[in-house]
Chains A and B, each alone.
Chain A
Amino acid sequence: LSPYVKFFSFCTKMPVEKTALEIVEKCLDKYFQHLCNDLEVFASHAGRKIVKPEDLLLLMRRQGLVTDQVSQHVLVERYLPLEYRQQLIPCAFSGNSVFPAQ
């Protein structure tokens, strides 16, 4: 969990106490638990055993992160580095091929 805790202290732009970081870790634990439960429910509702990107999109919509103004691709472009963006957002390549295929 340490990369996320580091990201937290980067985001706050403020000194953070050590005990507060422990609380952040606890929050992250809870968050992962909720996340896994939600993903399971979404996937089983669609009758699948594999979590697909649509489930994540639905989850982010429910959380109010993705709205009609802000689409998922905008968030991907804003927060993820280039190598990951290339894997997530479909883009035309040479030879009239689109990767990743829709």
Chain B
Amino acid sequence: MSNFLLLPIIIPFFFGMLLMFAPKNIRYQRIGAMTGLTIALVTAIALLFKVKNEGIQVVTFGDWPAPFGITLVSDTVSALLVLTSVILAFFTVWYSISAIGKERESFFYYPGILFMLTGVNGAFTTGDIFNLFVFFEVLLMSSYLLIVLGGEKAQLRESIKYILVNVISSAIFVITVAFLYSVVGTLNMADIAVKIAAIGQPGIITVIAVLFLIVFGLKAAIFPLYFWLPSSYAAPPIPVLALFGALLTKVGVYAITRTYTLFFVHDTGFTHELLMILSVLTILAGCIGALAYFDVKKIIIYNIIIAVGVILFGVSQMNDNALMGSMFYLIHDMLIKAALFFLVGIIIAVTGTSDLRKMGGLMKTHPALGWFYLIAAFGLAGIPPLSGFVGKLLIVRGGFEAGNLGASIWILLSSLVVLLSVIRIFIYAFWGKEQGSLQQIDKGQYRMMFIPTAILVMLTVFYGVGSEWITPFMQDAANILNNPSVYTDAVLKE
């Protein structure tokens, strides 16, 4: 059945619609969202193995031949990302049940998450540049709802800025697609790649490449364009923040990866050099922010920016090792960021504050939380048996192979800063004397928040320890990214 790759997109959409019929029935909302995501999870796993066994899956709607209809393409890169997003949405909904509060649950919170997942999965799977824009808008519209839902003052204030930035970047996206259309005369991504290869990337295509970098860089928060992210992400409640931090910036990262490995590969001396410089600066900006704050949310938010820089550095190197490292690190980072936000959310719920200086002594009262936090923190920094290690190792190796010694060493040094920033949370919150009164959240609620978090942390540990099983998928993904012809042949042969 060749329509199988549509299921991870359609199922969340369908369940999102079903949930809209009875917003006030919270039981129905919770069960419906969990059921939908479980089914989506099964199909996403099945899709990944199907892609692994049978090669790239392609569907062109309405039986039109490939460049004329809208094509959806599921290769290993997108199947891995789709699976990771569904896993994260699943854990976020599970965590939300006790963390988000009944008022939000009865005002289309779960449909918002499901529609956002529809947009994210669609953006990962599409093979049409304008369809990518439409899926971007689907996920952005849902994110507007989620960021402002609740209507607190900080949320209203920050969502205005968030929406403004995204409206502008969407307009630039439309403009860029218009320019690209006027040069190559097609919208199908594989066809664009072939046409650009045929004209050998003249100057105008390089300009379009930089415009795409601006558009997707605004979504992904790379160096000069990350200004909106720290304050916007601090506004919504923790489960929404976890979903945004894990998924939304990564869609931008994926879009940069796709366009820079499929379209703009003929003038890498300029475009990829630019991407490398920006990614190094992104890491620098993130490191400064991660060390500057005493607010637990802000520290992890700046760590998102660091990770975006690391992944894009790998993409800019354009060799097998670095691209494979980027894929490894991308999936790792999505999982670990969600886990860290969940853990930080529990810390905030227990202590009643997000200010590190007002915390202390949690190790005595919540030892399990402390140990899981420590594992997640080491995983983020890339201590060998844990999940962040393999990705960064391969990225640095790829950097050395491409001859960028200084930048690669800077990646390694940034790991120290990452470790320092998250260990500061551990030292302040878990060691020392108990400070102030602990917030009394009841045992049941604490357990409901802790169980999904603990499972997610264990999943990241498994991801690190079992990297040998995951390597074939990553090799496949790197092969597709490094050889655009694999992708274009799969799409255009039919």
Chain A partners chain B: no
